[in-house]
């Protein structure tokens, strides 16, 4: 347990998309969650000195470093927040835990089941706290959905549908990035958006996927790279049928070539006495249908902005809607609270391993022509 009155020094590794989102969270967390330990935004890390310097000035960091290893023996760094491509997650997080730092890792936990297992073991052996950044767990409507499922409000869940669709790769001329190379990303949309989707299924249902069958497709096999045309070595889209231990069957569909869809995470849960529907593009809303009284049967849309709803009290009065970025601040708050109290915090590295096992089973199933494959969960 860390002295809750001590101000904690934070370093973020990576300063682009997630580096910016997490910087915003570290900057705001003390203002909106005043009960958690305060933080000092100590060091932003990137390989290019000029670029990381510019980002640090924009985002409010006290200093910069060009090698994440320089953080390890610094007494003024308590938390290392890993916002790099996936192939670096395990290396940085393992070193950080070994150095006694608290560690936050962006999703997916790592690029392979073996790396995830190593991280789970290291986290278990460490007295430091660790957290995996499945930030959608802090969307108030999804946290409420979990509560309603747990409370039995829709009966026994039998079916689920999850799709997560984007279109930034629809254009065949969209350039190569680390996300399209197996050696840096591990997989394509499967690890990128599929990891979020599988984690939501685990989170909402409170149980794991034990069997999966899947299909992957790369629609654009080559893209313009910095040195000419380059082969795309990961999937553009993936489909899977997932089975849980209790018998829930879920369909999963993820794509980065779904023309017209920007960041469309849609979740539907169907239970014996009701159902729940969520759409990230309307993230303040949760649609609940309860069977029973025929006069009131039908969908009701809950505006999830009441102080009684998860996470909302920290923010604005009812009806003053929240956005995607609030999830990262709430995530930082939960992590800081856990550091100060030793209370459990999710998503754990075990949660990351459980999701990775499902993704690996989908890939293995695809390689065998779509056969049903055990996940090991």
User: Count residues contacting ligand NAD (CB under 6 A)?
Assistant: 21
46 binds ligand NAD (CB under 6 A): yes
Q: Which residues lie below 8 Å from residue 235, measured CB to CB, with a gap of 6+?
A: 187, 188, 189, 190, 216, 217, 218
Q: What's the min distance (Å) between Cβ of 36 and ligand NAD?
A: 20
Q: Which is nearer to ligand NAD, 133 or 271 (CB)?
A: 133
Q: What's the min distance (Å) between Cβ of 83 and ligand NAD?
A: 5
Q: What's the min distance (Å) between Cβ of 46 and ligand NAD?
A: 5
User: What 8-state DSSP symbol labels residue 191?
Assistant: I
- Binding letters toward ligand NAD, positions 101-120, x by CB under 6 A: -----xx-------------
For ligand NAD, which residue of 81, 115, 192, 253 counts as binding (CB under 6 A)? 192
Question: In degrees, to the nearest 5, what angle opens at C-alpha 314 toward C-alphas 311 and 318?
Answer: 80
32 binds ligand NAD (CB under 6 A): no
Q: What are phi and psi of 116, to 5 degrees?
A: -60, -40
Report how far residue 144's alpha carbon sits from residue 153's, in angstroms, rounded to the nearest whole number: 11
85 binds ligand NAD (CB under 6 A): yes
16 binds ligand NAD (CB under 6 A): yes
Q: Which is nearer to ligand NAD, 47 or 98 (CB)?
A: 47
For ligand NAD, which residue of 39, 83, 276, 332 counts as binding (CB under 6 A)? 83
19 binds ligand NAD (CB under 6 A): yes
Report how far residue 172's alpha carbon sits from residue 116's, in angstroms, rounded to the nearest whole number: 33
Report how far residue 20's alpha carbon sits from residue 333's, in angstroms, rounded to the nearest whole number: 17
18 binds ligand NAD (CB under 6 A): yes
State the angle between helix axes of 326-341 and 17-32 in degrees (0 to 180), rounded to the nearest 10. Answer: 60
> Tokens in use for 172?
């065949």
Q: How many CA atoms lie within 13 A of 226 on its CB side?
A: 2
186 binds ligand NAD (CB under 6 A): no
Scanning 4-12, 81-89, 145-153, 218-226 for contacts with ligand NAD by CB under 6 A, the matching segment is 81-89
222 binds ligand NAD (CB under 6 A): no
68 binds ligand NAD (CB under 6 A): yes
45 binds ligand NAD (CB under 6 A): yes
- The H-assigned helical ranges of the chain are 17-32, 49-59, 89-98, 113-125, 140-150, 182-185, 189, 195-205, 326-341, 349-367
> Tokens in use for 297?
């049967």
Q: Which is nearer to ligand NAD, 22 or 211 (CB)?
A: 22
For ligand NAD, which residue of 1, 6, 7, 17 counts as binding (CB under 6 A)? 17
6 binds ligand NAD (CB under 6 A): no
86 binds ligand NAD (CB under 6 A): yes
78 binds ligand NAD (CB under 6 A): no
234 binds ligand NAD (CB under 6 A): no
- The H-assigned helical ranges of 60-191 are 89-98, 113-125, 140-150, 182-185, 189
84 binds ligand NAD (CB under 6 A): yes
Q: What are phi and psi of 318, to 5 degrees?
A: -50, 140
242 binds ligand NAD (CB under 6 A): no
Task: Report helix, strand or coil for 153.
Answer: coil
88 binds ligand NAD (CB under 6 A): yes
37 binds ligand NAD (CB under 6 A): no
Report how far residue 357's alpha carbon sits from residue 368's, in angstroms, rounded to the nearest whole number: 16
Report how far residue 246's alpha carbon sits from residue 164's, in angstroms, rounded to the nearest whole number: 24
267 binds ligand NAD (CB under 6 A): no
Which residues sit at the interface with ligand NAD, rule CB under 6 A?
13-19, 45-47, 68, 83-86, 88, 106-107, 133, 135, 192
């Amino acid at each position: 347990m860390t002295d809750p009155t001590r101000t904690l020094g934070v370093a973020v590794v990576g300063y682009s998309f997630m580096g910016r989102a997490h910087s915003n969270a570290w900057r705001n967390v003390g203002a909106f969650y005043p009960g958690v330990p305060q933080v000092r935004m100590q060091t932003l890390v990137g390989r290019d000195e000029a670029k990381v310097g510019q980002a640090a000035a924009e985002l409010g960091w006290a200093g910069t470093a060009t090698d994440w290893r320089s953080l390890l023996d610094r007494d003024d760094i308590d938390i290392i927040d890993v916002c790099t491509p996936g192939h670096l997650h395990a290396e940085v997080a393992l070193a950080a835990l070994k150095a006694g730092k608290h560690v936050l890792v962006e999703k997916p936990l790592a690029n392979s089941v073996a790396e995830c297992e190593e991280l789970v073991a290291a986290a278990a052996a460490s007295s430091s706290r660790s957290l995996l950044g499945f930030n959608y767990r802090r969307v108030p409507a999804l946290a409420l959905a979990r509560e309603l499922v747990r409370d039995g409000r829709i009966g026994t869940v039998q079916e689920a549908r999850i799709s997560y669709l984007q279109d930034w790769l629809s254009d065949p001329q969209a350039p190569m990035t680390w996300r399209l190379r197996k050696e840096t990303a591990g997989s394509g949309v499967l690890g990128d958006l599929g990891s979020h989707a599988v984690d939501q299924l685990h989170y909402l249902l409170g149980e794991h996927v034990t069997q999966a069958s899947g299909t992957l497709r790369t629609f654009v096999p080559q893209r313009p790279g910095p040195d000419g045309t380059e082969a795309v070595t990961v999937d553009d889209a993936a489909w899977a049928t997932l089975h849980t231990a209790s018998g829930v069957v879920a369909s999963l569909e993820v794509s980065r070539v779904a023309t017209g869809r920007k960041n469309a995470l849609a979740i539907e849960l169907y239970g014996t006495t009701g159902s729940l529907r969520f759409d990230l593009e309307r993230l303040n809303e949760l649609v609940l249908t309860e069977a029973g009284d025929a006069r009131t049967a039908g969908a009701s849309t809950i505006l999830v902005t009441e102080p009684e709803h998860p996470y909302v009290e920290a923010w604005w009065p009812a009806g003053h809607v929240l956005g995607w970025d609030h999830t990262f601040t709430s995530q930082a708050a939960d992590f800081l609270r856990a550091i100060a109290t030793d209370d459990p915090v999710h998503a754990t590295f075990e949660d990351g391993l459980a999701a990775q096992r499902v993704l690996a089973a989908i890939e293995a199933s695809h390689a065998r022509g779509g056969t049903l494959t055990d996940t090991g969960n």
